[in-house]
Amino acid sequence: MSRFSQGNLQVQAERVGDVRSLNAYIAKVYGWMFLGLGLTALTAFLFLSKSDWVVGFVNNKFLFFGSLIGEFALVLAISRAIMRLSFPAAAGLFGLYAVLNGLTLSILLLIYTGSSVASTFLITAVMFGAMSVYGRVTRVDLTQFKGILMMGLIGVVVLSLLNLFLRSSALEWIVTLVGMFVFLGLAAYDMQKLKTYYYSTQDDLVMQSKLGLLGALSLYLDFINLFLMLLRLFGRRR
């Protein structure tokens, strides 16, 4: 075998090994995301077993809105302090956020039927999975759509807050549809961002793990918000 052929085989082997390492990294990040979703679901179902607790929790504005503010603060803390936090501390904050989110989302299991929640979760998983695969295999640089996605996200948040006062069903449908496409786009974008995290931190495994946890949080938020948008569309109220 010529030296040229041997060199080609070596380069191909390195590329295969690199792809395998990248896939293992991505799988680990998604593992953290699924762990967060599992904690949220478990907390919601356990809390729901005491339905009077759920009603009392929602009716207590201090507790309910305090939890929402706490969730927002935790996301900011993880996002902005991830470099200064140790990995166990960051993972603990991520777990705490998932549990708090389970408390606030437990009310959905009282509002919507169990079958519609389950079917919507499956629809969300399929759509989220498809966009994640697209984000993994596409050669299109999705960062060029970051500005559009962020503008859409801000628009969804602002209009949702505005509709708390207007209570317009038409505006709610518009917000829901726009939000669905925004979070589908973010699912692909955040998936592709994991490759950047991996290749930019190959010489720093600690940093790679921290950024992976940050990526898991982003994907978790994409999934939860997509689920909420689809539940508005397909959920059947009790």
Confidence (pLDDT) at 6: 40
Confidence (pLDDT) at 44: 92
Tokens of 146: 């970051």
Let me know: does 33 contact 219? Beta carbons within 8 Å.
Answer: yes
pLDDT digit string, tens, across residues 177-217: 999 999 999 999 999 999 999 999 988 999 999 999 999 99
Percentage, residues of the chain above pLDDT 70:
92
Q: Which residues contact 199 (CB under 8 A, 6 or more apart)?
A: 22
Segment 123-150 shows an average pLDDT of: 95
Q: How far apart are CA 127 and CA 113, in angstroms?
A: 21
The overall average pLDDT reported for the chain is 89
Burial of 94 (0-12, 13-18, 19+ CB in 10 A): buried
pLDDT band at 223 (very low <50, low <70, confident <90, very high): very high
- The residue extents of the domains of the chain are 3-234
Segment 74-100 shows an average pLDDT of: 94
pTM, entire model: 0.90
Let me know: does 37 contact 94? Beta carbons within 8 Å.
Answer: no
pLDDT exceeds 60 at position 126: yes
Segment 142-166 shows an average pLDDT of: 93
pLDDT band at 149 (very low <50, low <70, confident <90, very high): very high
Segment 165-175 shows an average pLDDT of: 92
pLDDT digit string, tens, across residues 5-15: 444 433 344 45
Q: How far apart are CA 160 and CA 166, in angstroms?
A: 10
Confidence (pLDDT) at 48: 83
pLDDT band at 50 (very low <50, low <70, confident <90, very high): confident
Confidence (pLDDT) at 17: 60
pLDDT exceeds 70 at position 2: no
Segment 106-130 shows an average pLDDT of: 93
Confidence (pLDDT) at 52: 79
Q: Which of 109, 74, 73 lies closest to 89, judged by CA?
A: 74
